[in-house]
Amino acid sequence: MNTTVILVIGLVVFAIAMLIMVLKISQMQESLKSSVKDSLLENIHKLYTSISDLKEEYGKITSTLSTLSDISNDTKTLKSYLTNTKIRGYWGERLVEDIINIVGLKEGINYVKQTTDSDSRPDFTFYLPNGKVINLDAKFPLDNYKKFIEAQSEAEKESFKKEFIKDVKNRINEVAKKNYVNENTVDFASVFIANEGTYAFLLSEEPGIIDEALSKQIVLTSPTTLYALLSVLRKATEYYILEKSVRDVLDLMVKFEKEWGNYLKEFDKLDKAINDLKDTYNKLVTTRKDKLDSVLTEIESKKALMEETENETQEKVN
């Protein structure tokens, strides 16, 4: 085959190989950029959505607290519940559930409720994002408080008031003896008082009751303070998710940096291979071609000499 034809074919093959490599490199770059871009945009969208939701939720807190305070302070509602013994037994739990619904917590995800009448387990257990829980007892002694409200004389009121405060302290001691605070919980449990008026009355008549309860790792909560506590719990969970999204973005960026470094290393190897191929090709079309041309020239010379000698010999014979 003619040398020029061989060189042309080699050049075409080399050009095609170079084109294929460039196209593959371009596709790799676009694929990598697209994948990283999509992941980053998805996580950034999550962050933006979480922040927007938080701003909207905070705007509702003032009106919700006002409504909650009005409901829990309603005297007629209080007397109705206190009069009915059966209803009174579940009043605290029902009000806790109402507050949970207002806050927006989900059963089985943010909390669990005690489904039996056992007094050895908390009525509600709320989950924190760090794996800890908060236990809450919604059973609260109100019999003597009912008698205090209905009493006609000051002497009776004073007597029932003392009995009510005694009942509260006994309830605090009962809850403190249970395993509501342990290695799996925060360092306190909550006892819920299902009426703001009752809560305010208790603090007014027995100011030291809060500190006494805290010394036993018990926090007394009213509807308003429980709403605030559960709102903080929900926000803590949302911030945890938000923080996790931020960490995911940072981890993705670190991963991208690592993979980009690996990509550049492989690209450098490919670049070196291409340069080596170019050097080989240059040698092929220069030095090697010159050597071949030199041999071909020598062959042609030898061939011409042989033909000339053969012709001379033929002439002598003739």
Residue ranges of domains in the chain: 76-241
Is this model's pTM higher than 0.75 or not? no
Picking from 76, 73, 90, the residue whose alpha carbon sits closest to that of residue 222 is 73
The two tokens of residue 313 are 């010999």
Neighbouring CB atoms inside 10 A of 140's CB total: 20
List of residues 6+ apart from 144 with CB closer than 8 A: 160, 161, 163, 164, 167
- DSSP alpha helices (H): ranges in the chain? 3-58, 61-72, 75-83, 85-103, 143-150, 154-177, 196-205, 209-215, 223-285, 287-317
The two tokens of residue 22 are 């460039």
- Give the full edge-to-edge strand order of the sheet including 189-192: 111-113, 124-127, 133-137, 189-192, 218-221
Picking from 76, 107, 109, the residue whose alpha carbon sits closest to that of residue 93 is 107
pLDDT of residue 6: 46
pLDDT along the chain (318 residues), means of 10: 47 49 52 53 54 52 50 52 58 87 90 77 90 91 86 91 94 93 93 88 91 94 91 81 68 75 78 74 70 75 74 68
